[in-house]
Amino acid sequence: MAENYADYAKRINLAEFIDHALLSPTATPEQVAQCCEEADLFGFAAVCVYPAYVRQAVELLHGKRPQVCTVIGFPTGATTSAVKLYEAQEAADNGATELDVVINLGWLKSGKIEEVHRELAEICEATDQTVKAILEMSLLSESEKKIAAEICLDAGVQFLKTSTGWYGGATVEDVRLLKAVSNDRVGIKAAGGIRTVEQAIALILAGATRLGTSRGPDLVHQRDTLEEAKL
């Protein structure tokens, strides 16, 4: 593991994995503008903002590398399917190309598998955009994690995402589980509590293909500092 980590720390382009998130309830248009500026400057994969700021982010990032991502049913996943579908369609109409959708955990835990599947499948079909299903792994048992992942895969999502960051963060173990269940059929987004470059690279080594974090610039600076220390 140490050898793999050292190799990744030396050659990986960490910025390409990062979804630069601004999901504070008090986020302002000025902060959204800064978030987009940072995403463009560092070459992040995407910015992730609330639906209310999608149009602003799309305008600021037009013709630039970062995609515009937003959250649907955030953070509980407990709004109705009709509301989630409308929210997702509106976000797509406003220019969002990636939708991070919180699954209905209450349905999952009560065995309403068809309802969870239908909700996600409708969003995937109606928007035709990249859908990342947020499983909130810290609230699920081991068997529930596997069931949730299989439902999401069958519904047609493009990513499995570990968490919102509101109820616990990403773990290496959960990323490995999602990688094993998905068998590389979809991407894996680790999100929540990623504060150090060591955490980030450990998650990537475990199978994460995206990292959701509000600390993107700091992580890149940490990585650059590691590089400089080795010179």
**Which one is catalytic: 84, 132, 161, 179?**
161
Residue 145 annotated as catalytic: no
Residue 230 annotated as catalytic: no
**Which one is catalytic: 100, 132, 145, 174?**
100
- Distance from C-alpha of 60 to C-alpha of 87, rounded to nearest angstrom: 21
Residue 100 annotated as catalytic: yes
State the catalytic residues.
100, 161, 189
